[in-house]
Amino acid sequence: MRTTYRIRKHELGLWFRHGDLVDILDPGVHRVWNTPFRGGNSVEIVDTLRPQFDHDRLGALVRDMMIADRLTVVDLNDEQRALVWADGRLIAILGAGTYAFWNAPAQIVVERFSVNDARFDHPRIESILGFPGGVKHFDGVRVDAHERVMLFRDGQLVEQLGPGHFIYWKGGPRVTWKSVDLREQVADIQGQEIMTADKVTLRMNLVVTHRVTDPAKAVTEVADWAQALYREAQLELRVAVGGRTLEKLLADKDEVGNEIKNRLAPRAAEFGVSVSGVGLRDVILPGDMKVILNEVIVAQKQAEANLIRRREETAAARSQANTARLLAENPALSRMKELEALQDILRGTNATFVLGSGDLADQIGSLLQKQASP
């Protein structure tokens, strides 16, 4: 018996006999023997509108000249990758293996790459990254304007990346990266319990303002530059506080901050960090020490008040002594002071006194005695 096959314009027929390809049936009508005693013929119809040709015997078929000239064959080793475009549209991202694509009706373009190059650059990179399943072939990092990224290849620092989008093939050299923020930052060194020189235990909080100025050092000289800065600030705080008494510490808080900064800055610079400011934010005393300190402050203020009071009393006595000496040495001035005193005494009365020469005090005394007699 014969079987009739109608091959459409966008199709091809693969005629197999005993599993071997014997002919390619072009579009049209074909009648093929298909009974077992006629050689076990079979026809597979394939759709060329699907650009990629998949078959369980693809490896053998692509080496058959009857079909090979109709295909674009892509054979990739473990270190190769490929992008396949059909009429300018990305249709596949290929890893290692053998692939075949029909040359017609679409125009097939294949771009080959080596994963040993690591970085992947392409003018249509965004379209490639958006391709379904593309993420399994690529790693990427996007760097903002305030960042720098240190790129490592097989553990070796090879490049410092500025702002942009960078893509790398998977499956090649091991590529890793560390991002470093270049903006000014503040580190809070909180809850540090430290004993002063006079054996008072304090709880202190320190603030360190800093920024990374050498990203390469920050990621290679220490495992974690932020932790390294925190640790160094802790140590310098203990040194600065441990060498002072409580009274001196409270009086020199700004000086303590400057001392810590001057000691911390050179060490931080060794791992690429610049320290711009250090300050003591909180000094927390134990409960009993607060009571004692308040009592001391009250006693100091009382002593200051007493000292000021005595100083004023001494000044007043000295002023009175000076006034008495001036009055004794100047009778006219004494007479004026008497008149001022009399004016103050008689203010608001309607009495009229006519005084003659002589001692004013004696005359006033005589008048008062006359008024008092019956």
pLDDT digits (tens, 9 = 90+) for 125-171: 888 988 988 888 998 899 999 999 999 998 899 999 999 989 999 88
> Which class is 185-284 in CATH?
alpha beta
Distance CA 50, CA 70 (A): 14
DSSP three-state, residue 172? coil
Cis (ω within 30 of 0) for the bond into 331? no
CA of residue 71 relative to chain centroid, distance: 54
pLDDT digits (tens, 9 = 90+) for 286-339: 656 555 555 666 667 677 777 887 787 788 777 777 777 776 777 776 667 666
Say if residues 185 and 166 touch (Cβ distance below 8 Å): no
Q: Which stretches of the chain score pLDDT less than 50?
A: none
Element (H, E) at 101: strand 97-102
Q: What are the tokens at 230?
A: 């925190």
**For residue 80, which phi and psi values (nearest 5 degrees)?**
-115, 150
DSSP three-state, residue 109? strand
Show me where the domains of the chain are located: 118-183, 185-284, 288-329, 331-374
Question: Would you state the pLDDT for residue 286?
Answer: 66
Select from 93, 183, 182, 178 the least CA-distant residue to 141.
178
Question: Would you state the pLDDT for residue 348?
Answer: 64
Question: Would you state the pLDDT for residue 171?
Answer: 87
**For residue 30, which phi and psi values (nearest 5 degrees)?**
-135, 140
Distance CA 147, CA 177 (A): 12
Question: Would you state the pLDDT for residue 197?
Answer: 86
Element (H, E) at 286: none
- Residue partners of 263: CB distance under 8 A and separation at least 6: 236, 239, 240
Distance CA 321, CA 326 (A): 9
Select from 127, 114, 167 the least CA-distant residue to 143.
167
Question: Would you state the pLDDT for residue 249?
Answer: 83
